[in-house]
Amino acid sequence: MNSLAPQGGPILVTGGQGQLATSLVKLGGARIHRVGRPDFDFDRPETLARILDAIEPVAVVNAAAWTAVDLAESEPEAAARANTSGPAELARLCALRDIPLIHISTDYVFAGNKGAPYVETDSISPQTVYGETKAEGEKLALAANPKTLVLRTSWVYSAHGKNFVRTILNAGAKNPTLKVVGDQRGNPTSSDDLARAILSVLAVMEKDSWRDEFAGIYHACGTGETTWHGLAVAALKEATAYGQAMPDVTAIRTEDWPTPAKRPAVSSMDSAKLKRVFGVAMPAWEDSLRQVVKTLYSS
């Protein structure tokens, strides 16, 4: 993978203490300038221009989002400010300043019934408020700034922040039995891998200068697919190397774990375009999971 040249202007990363923003800070070096609330707040759109003008970035990565999938069902306006109108305004302000924008989106824009990994040209059909607000955000960001790349990722986990892997490891440490949905499939993605991919994309964009064909949608998720049950079992097995007891993990059906938001059944995505255009290959999710579990138990 390409790495970002140490010289060059600042890269603005939104998303505060979130998973991806934290990985970008950890891996991106001195050029990464992370912002979060209250300084940069999609609920207060006037903060956006203020930050852009204070930092004068050469590129922006928007890793800020409303990611509470179930809560979005009852708080659609707040979710839309973070995922739709906020990113649209950010894209508009970037366009006025001729700044490329990498905007992060999700597999939950898809219905989950294709029966094969989704490619970028497949039609979207979000089933949740979170998915709808992200889908609208993609569309408006692409329309507002001709230098927008939308990177759709999925099932993001890391040693920091709130994510399914950490939730399951905590639950497994306390309970001898767990129940996890085994009929939803997707591609687990390490936030460190996603950060490395984004840094490589930025490096190519800088080295080659902007080309119009860079703009558009890309899928960027861990290689290989599994179920939430498969991910839970793999994480818990890795943790046994660090003295954790292995609980009994039962695979259940979606209807046996009722949630306000209806998640897609199979939302796997094909990341081949990212490799084709930027030379970026996403690592196998099992290898990255091993690293994350190691980090969690060594810290």
Q: Please report, as ranges, the residues that interact with ligand NDP according to CB under 6 A.
A: 15-20, 36-37, 40-43, 63-67, 81-82, 104, 106, 134, 153-156, 161
Quick check: 67 binds ligand TDO (CB under 6 A)? yes
Binding mask 83-122 for ligand TDO (x = CB under 6 A): -----------------------xxx--------------
CA distance 247 to 170: 11
Q: How many CA atoms does the CB half-sphere of 83 hold within 13 Å? A: 25
Minimum distance of ligand NDP from residue 66's CB (angstroms):
5
Q: Which of 217, 205, 97, 89 is nearest to 144 (CA)?
A: 89
Give residues 166-225 in contact with ligand TDO (rule: CB under 6 A). Answer: 167, 171, 178-181, 184
What single string gives the DSSP state of each residue in 135-169? HHHHHHHHHH-TTEEEEEE-SEE-SSSS-HHHHHH
Compute φ and ψ for 104, nearest 5 degrees: -95, 135
What single string gives the DSSP state of each residue in 229-286? HHHHHHHHHHHHTTT----EEEEE-GGGS--SS---SB--B--HHHHHHH---PPBHH
CA distance 91 to 49: 11
Give residues 257-286 in contact with ligand TDO (rule: CB under 6 A). Answer: 257, 259, 263
From the list ligand TDO, ligand NDP, none, partner contacted by residue 257 (C-beta under 5 to 8 A by kind): ligand TDO
Q: Which contiguous run of DSSP H or E holds residue 77?
A: helix 76-80
130 a catalytic residue: yes
From the list ligand NDP, ligand TDO, none, partner contacted by residue 18 (C-beta under 5 to 8 A by kind): ligand NDP
The one among 20, 51, 61, 69 contacting ligand TDO by CB under 6 A: 69
Is 92 or 237 the residue whose CB approaches ligand TDO more closely? 237
Nearest residue to ligand TDO, using CB?
A: 106
Token reading at 162: 């709130």
- Which residues in this chain contact ligand TDO in the complex, by CB under 6 A? 67, 69, 106-108, 154-156, 164, 167, 171, 178-181, 184, 228, 257, 259, 263
For the annotated catalytic residues, the residue numbers are 130
